[in-house]
Structure formats: structure tokens, C-alpha cells
Chain A
């Protein structure tokens, strides 16, 4: 069992931004919330998923809404724990563990808030192994585990319980409620027992976030190549290095879509990479040939500092390294590809692995 202390939170946030693959929201506010909770309630224990008993009651928690709203209408700690307690009350069960749905971006830090305040261990890992934009895009969906009953909670004290016929419906109804709640809500869903968690969890991703963040910090401090440090920490490979020469953005159906063009350097002069973005970076193409696609992770890093760059902060002239790492193997099954493969996002291409 690993204990997460106050000093680990900046590394956690940085590593979570790496696994956010450009999306998932800036973890800064989530990190401040986690720090505030740890200061008040003390450190958090991370439980290994394999150590869960069959009858454990595992309640995941996450933020739903627009990251741009979250930086203005900052969620409250009580809102986070109330979402969990409401679900526990509806189920008539006493939670034994808190869990994380999405290791990438702001949702990596929110479960730490609930765990610290409720005094419960947090299961080390998540349901995606990265960030994805919709709540049915989790590995438990592949096992037929239901997202609902789920609770949705705003900061005013409004709370809702949804019980839906499919995980897709949970996404649709929760999205509507989130908008009425001011586009920032806390949700608790995918309640499960220890047996279900053991088979559907991506193990170790939260401690991986801390390790990735710590690797970046150490490389910067010791003047080693921080990009290589991230590549080693995520077990991936470097795809490309270059300068952004074009950015094309538009928002369609609530998602920030875009295409980023990067002119290669460092031995790749004359080569062009294109990144296709819908909040997250979904496809990397080199000279017109698809190099890597979702579900594998494609990440943009500042070439000098190794700091992850979110898609809204990509800008013309930035010198970036693009790296990729393999997604959890279950995302590469037929059902996994149907849920999060390139065609789901509207790209007419077969998935390509790292």
C-alpha cells in the first residue's frame, strides 16, 4: 500500500496531464482541492486492486462538465464527498474504497479529495488508463458493468440519481443535467464490488501519474532530456519532434476539434506530422500515413521542459515532441475499438497501434 502525501500532488497533476493526452482538463484546480483536503484530513492510502476482497464496495467519483467552467466555478470538497455518500445511501451500502474513472486530466485528482475527506483508501488505477470524453468509454462497459445507478451533485446541494437502460443513456441524461447545474457537476457511478473492480480496472495508473510527474521534475532538475524521461516512464516511444506550423480549430457538437500540423526537425526535416484532435489527441499521421490512433495514447510535450501541453494550449511556433504509448490491451478488442476506436470519433481509418 502506497501513501500519497501533500508533496506528491504536484507530480500527480503533472503526470495526469501527460495521460490526459491533451484533454481531460487542466489538473491545477483539482490539485489545489486535493492539497486542501490532505492538509485538513491527512494523507491518502492507495490500495492495490488485486488486494480488494470480493465484497469490497468500490465507489468511483469524477467531475463532469466543461473544464473552462471548473476554473471559474471551482467545485467544493463537500460536493465531491456528497456525490459518493448519496450513491452509497441509494445502494444501501457502506463504501470501503474510492476509485478513479479517468487517470488523465482533472479527474485523476478529484477521487483523492473524496478519499481524504471520507477517510477511505483509494484504489490505485482507473477505468480508462488515459482520458476519454464520454462516460461510457470505460473498460467496465466492456464487461457489461452498468454505469448506473449514478449520482450527480452540484455545489448548491441539488442531487440526482439516474438509473438508465444503457451506459450511453447515462452519458446523455447526465450531460443534460450537468448543463442545468451550470456545466460543472460531480458524479459517482460504476459502483462495483471487489471482484468486478479486479477484472475491469486498469491497475496502477494513479501511482504511475505520480511517477511520471516525478520523472519530469527529476529530469529537469538533473538537466537530462525530460522527453526521454516521459517516454521511459510511460513505456512508449517518441514519434516525432518538430515545430507547429498550422492550427485549425472548430467546435462541433460540444467538442473542440482540430488539426495540428508539425514540421519535423532533428533529422526529420521535410517530414510533416498531423495530429487530429477532439479534446484529446486521437490520431497522429506522418506524411499522410497513419502512425498511431486512439485507443493508444498520443501525447504532446514541450521539447525542452517535457511538460505536457493541453490541446487548447497548443500554439503556432511551439516546439513539441509527440510521443505515444500503448493503451490497455482490452481497448484493442473488437468491443473496445467499437467504443473508442477512430471510427467512433468519425475518422474513416482502422486503428493503428504504437
Chain B
């Protein structure tokens, strides 16, 4: 048996699972200390279905705690960014494109040193250990608590980042955590470096929060290993999560999509998660969310680590409905239960339309009985058309694709979407995130520029696939179950030697669960 826990901003949801079967599921409010909320949620689970803590094989937690803290600039530590690449890149130092409030919240200290590689792996300049030691001394003087190290073209060759991190660790001691850009982002120096700095800024909080998770479980008598869910829908161990809290940034939408896949039994589908204010639309390919191929802004910082491709439209249960039957993007949000007509309020919302149309039962239906039938039909149609357009926009081929609806606001959606066919509505969708977290798969990935000499393409592809499989096994996957779930090759213009960027992801079942 496994336990999946989703620690959201409002609720902490838990599920007890055996294989793909949900044995029990509960919700409890999230608490400031997080631990109390988890314990309360586990109590709820136990009340629904008693279990022996010793029988739990693994616990998986998904949390939006870190991304919220970063965006709100809460509990960030004093960071130094060290970039290796001089004499290149000096004009745009680290954090050049950050909003001022986050620069201040992290201390905004940055250093440039020699190092870096060319696109083909040649050195820009050699690493100078004495220079790194001098920088380390200055960091110590200034009370730096965490360091982000970036090096030009480190996705091609990470040796300088690794070497610089070793020197920094010797000079600064184990209390200062070090984040390497090559472990976090891809080609695109500023975006990758930004992600590494954000990660470093969260390092102290990662120690506290992950430690808190472990203590809550230990107090509950659960000795099974703890995993956290990552942006891409795979798991990472607790130690890895302490080092890479940024890997949880997008686990909210990811877990909701993955949960929808389990609940519906579909491997390839579109998922529409309808909340109070927005509908988030994503695509699952081989049970994993398709990833965005552009830079993603988080709290005004451009980053380029892997995030699921999510398209949001302003339609949710609390969306305002105008006299012309237009729906959203403005919403009453969490005040739905006081402001909507059916709940005695004075605002016409999308939920009122669903009740008037007979699609949902909530509140007092007599309070929407006066609404004109044609008006209600027009508003329902509008919602269906907008969501259908959003799904169509996200499709990657014209082949038929099932659509799964989850989230509290999914009552707004009709049984069929125009041009897309029947909608799948799984049970238990209220705890879809926790179910998504409880999926026991672990992955490995490579994203690298390869030189493809004529006639060697097959060898290069094989090498890339093998490297991804090895990384999955290193991360804890059972080798027999590992398969390639994503493969992409993009030729790069103006570069010699048929330079091709290959991204490959391998995923397998967690060993021993």
C-alpha cells in the first residue's frame, strides 16, 4: 500500500492506494506548520480505512509550498550567484532580468569568474581555482547562505560547475548549499541560471519542510521511504528534494493530470481541470504531461527548466456571467458559496447557470428559476465552445483524443464537447492531485546538443536513449520496467556538423514498491 499526499495552499488531501485502486481518500485543511495538516489528513484516512503504518511501502507528497514561497518572496535565504564564463557574458551579470523585490529578497549578490565552454565543448577559458577561492572568501565575509553555480554551455559539459562546487564546498563548509545550473535547466544561460538561483534561495526552506514531512510520518509510525513529486510527474527521493526544491514548482497541475489519467484509465488524453476561476488544460502523453517548449515566467523571473504545458482560460465555477451571456474571466473565486445566486448572493455565476440548466445540484435552485432558458443555453454553449477551443489548441495531432474533466468546477461542462466527442468524468476527482502524487514512477532524462556526423544518427540516438535509461536506474527505477516515454530531436540552425538537440526521457517503476 502507498499513501499519496497533496499539500496545497488550502487543503491537504491524502489517499491510500493499492496499485491503481483508491482504498480511501480524505481532505483536511493545510496548517501553517504543514505537519499538523498532514497528521490530521492521515487520521482522516485511517478513520475511513484502518491500516497498519508498517504496511505502507512508500509515501509520496506533492506540494506547491516552494513555488508559492518563491513567488511571494517568503523565507528566501541570502544567495550568491557564481557564473563561470569570463571573458564572455560579462555585460549581463546574473539576475539582470529579475524584478527588484526578488533581488532584494535573495540579497542579489553575484560573481563572474573564468571558465565556460563553447557549443562544441571547447573551453572558453580554463577554470582558475584560486579565483574561486577568493570569491568563496568574499561570500563568507558577506554571510552568503546558498550558492548557485552556472557555467556557459554546462548542459554540454558540466565539469567546471562540478569542480567549482567542490572548491566552494571545501571553503564554505557543509552549511552552505550549492545548486548547479546543469542539474536544473537547459541551454539558454539566463533562464537556466535563474532557475538555479531560485533553487538556491529555497534551500533552507527545503531542509525544514522536507524534514517536517519526514518527522510527521515518523511520528505516525510510518518508516517507509518518502518521495516528492516533480514537475514532470515522476518522483524524487527526500534527499534529492532537499537539494532541488525547484523540481516541485509545477507538481500541482502535473499531479492533477496524472491523477486524472489513473482515475480514467487513459494513457493519452486531454485533461480539463476546472477550478473556481480558471480551467487548466493539459495533455497527457504516455501518462505524462506534455512539457512546454518555451521559457516560463515564475514570479516575474524567466526560467527554462521543464514545466508541463498548461493552457489556462478564465472559466471556472465562480466566473461572472454578463447580460450578454459572456462567461469570465472575472470570478467571485472562493466567495462562491456566499455570492452566487443559488447560495443567496446577488452575483450571477457560471455555477448558477449549471444549476439553472439542470447540470448540477447545489444551493437553492428556485433562486435561478427566473433565468431565461435561451440565455442559460447560450451561456452553457459559450462555456463548452471556449473549453473545446482550448483543448483543440493543445492537441498535437488531428487524431481523436479523449477529454477527461476533473476539478470542482467540472459540473459546468456538458457531456460532449463540440468537435471532440464524449467527456470522461472519473469518480474521486476531488482528490485527483493526491492520487497523481501516489504514482510510483521514477525517471531519468537527458537534454543535450549532439554533433551528428553523416551516417551516425542511429548510434547517437541509441547513446542518448541509453544515457536516459541509466539515469532512471540511478534514480531508483527498476531496470526491467524502464521505457522511453519522450524523445525529441531538433536540428539547430547556423551550427556546423548537423548539431542536433536531443531530449530523451526514460521512466520506470520504483524499485521495491
Rounded to whole angstroms, the CA-CA distance of A77 and B166 in the bound complex is: 32
- Give the total number of A-B pairs whose CB atoms are below 8 A apart: 119
Most buried by B among A29, A72, A155, A319: A72
A residues near B496, Cβ cutoff 8 Å: 179, 183, 254
Q: Which residues of B contact A182 (CB under 8 A)?
A: 118-120, 122, 124
Q: Does B294 contact A (CB under 8 A)?
A: yes
A231 to chain B, nearest CB (A): 23
Q: Which residues 23-71 in A have Cβ within 8 Å of B in the complex?
A: 29, 32-33, 36-37, 65-69, 71
**Selected contact of B85 from candidates A69, A71, A73, A254, CB within 8 Å:** A73
Q: Is the CB of A69 within 8 A of B495?
A: yes
B119 touches A29 (CB 8 A): no
B235 interface contact, C-beta 8 A: no
Binds A, one of B53-61, B349-357, B390-398, B440-448: B390-398
**A contact patch SS:** mixed
User: Whole-angstrom distance between the alpha carbons of A321 and B235 in the complex?
Assistant: 41
Per-residue A-contact encoding for B73-115, CB less than 8 Å = 1, 0 else: 0000000000001011111100011000000000000000000
Question: Closest CB-CB distance, B490 to chain A, in whole Å?
Answer: 8
**Which of B183-191, B216-224, B369-377 has 4 or more CB atoms under 8 Å from chain A?**
B183-191
**Digit string of B489-507 for contact with A (CB within 8 Å is 1, else 0)?**
0111111101010000000
Verify if B125 is at the interface (C-beta below 8 Å from A): yes
A97 to chain B, nearest CB (A): 23
The verdict on A68 contacting B395 (CB below 8 Å), with A73-B124, A315-B293 known, is: no
Contact of B493 among A29, A255, A316, A317 (CB under 8 A): A255
Question: Which one of B87, B189, B494 contacts A71 once the chains associate, using CB atoms below 8 Å?
Answer: B189
* A65 surroundings in chain B (CB, below 8 A): 494
How many residues of chain A are within 8 Å of chain B by beta carbon?
40
Q: Are B493 and A279 in contact (CB under 8 A)?
A: yes
Q: Which residue, B85, B90, B125, B493, has most C-beta atoms of chain A within 10 A? A: B493
**Residue A250 at the B interface, CB < 8 A?**
yes
Contact between chains at B495 and A256 (CB < 8 Å): no
Contact in complex: A76, B116 (CB < 8 Å): no
With beta carbons under 8 angstroms apart, the residue of A71, A76, A78, A315 that contacts B187 is: A71
Residue from A37, A157, A256 with most neighbouring chain B CB atoms (10 Å): A256
Q: Are A72 and B188 in contact, with the CB atoms below 8 A?
A: yes
Chain B residues whose C-beta falls within 8 Å of the C-beta of A255 in the assembled complex: 493-494
In the bound complex, CA of A210 to CA of B120 (Å): 36
A245 at interface, CB cutoff 8 A:
yes
- Which residues on A sit within 8 Å (CB–CB) of B395? 316-317
Q: Which residue of chain B lies nearest to A75 when distances are taken between CB atoms in the complex?
A: B91
Cβ contact within 8 Å between A74 and B491: no
| Cβ-closest chain A residue relative to B153 | A72
A157 to B492: give the CA distance in the assembly, Å: 26
A316/B119 in contact, CB under 8 A: no
Q: Are A251 and B492 in contact (CB under 8 A)?
A: yes
Return chain A residues, CB-CB under 8 Å to B397: 316
A62-99: CB near B (< 8 Å → 1, else 0) gives 00011111011111111000000000000000000000
Chain B residues with CB under 8 A of A312: 490
Residues of chain B within 8 A of A156, CB atoms compared: 87-88, 124-125
Chain A 261-317 residues near chain B, CB threshold 8 A: 279, 312-313, 315-317
A68-B492 in contact (CB<8A): yes
Contact of B494 among A66, A245, A250, A319 (CB under 8 A): A66
Interface membership of A343, Cβ < 8 A = no
Find chain A residues with CB under 8 A from B165 CB: none
CA distance A319 to B459 in the complex (A): 37
CB distance from B190 to the nearest CB of A (A): 7
Q: Are B187 and A68 in contact (CB under 8 A)?
A: yes
Is B5 in the interface zone, CB < 8 Å from A? no
Q: Which A residue's beta carbon lies closest to that of B392? A: A317
Residue-wise, chain B 386-422 has the 8 Å CB interface mask toward A (1 for contact) of: 0000001111111000000000000000000000000
Instruction: From B92, B392, B394, B493, give the contact of A256 (CB < 8 A).
Output: B493
Residues of the A chain whose Cβ atoms lie less than 8 Å from the Cβ of B92: 29, 32-33, 36, 74
A149-162: contact bitstring with B at CB < 8 Å (1 yes, 0 no)?
A: 00000011100000
Instruction: Name 16 extra pairs, CB < 8 A, besides A71-B189, A245-B398.
Output: A36-B92, A66-B119, A66-B494, A72-B187, A73-B152, A155-B87, A155-B124, A182-B118, A183-B118, A183-B494, A183-B496, A250-B491, A251-B500, A254-B495, A312-B490, A317-B392
Closest 5 CB pairs of A and B: A251-B491, A66-B494, A182-B118, A256-B493, A155-B88
Show 25 A/B contacts (Cβ-Cβ < 8 Å), sorted by A: A32-B97, A36-B92, A37-B91, A68-B493, A69-B119, A69-B495, A71-B189, A73-B85, A73-B189, A78-B91, A155-B87, A155-B88, A155-B89, A157-B87, A182-B118, A183-B119, A245-B398, A249-B490, A249-B491, A251-B491, A251-B500, A254-B494, A255-B493, A317-B392, A319-B393
Could you list which residues of chain B lie within 8 angstroms of chain A, going by C-beta atoms? 85, 87-92, 96-97, 116, 118-120, 122, 124-125, 152-153, 187-190, 293-294, 392-398, 490-496, 498, 500
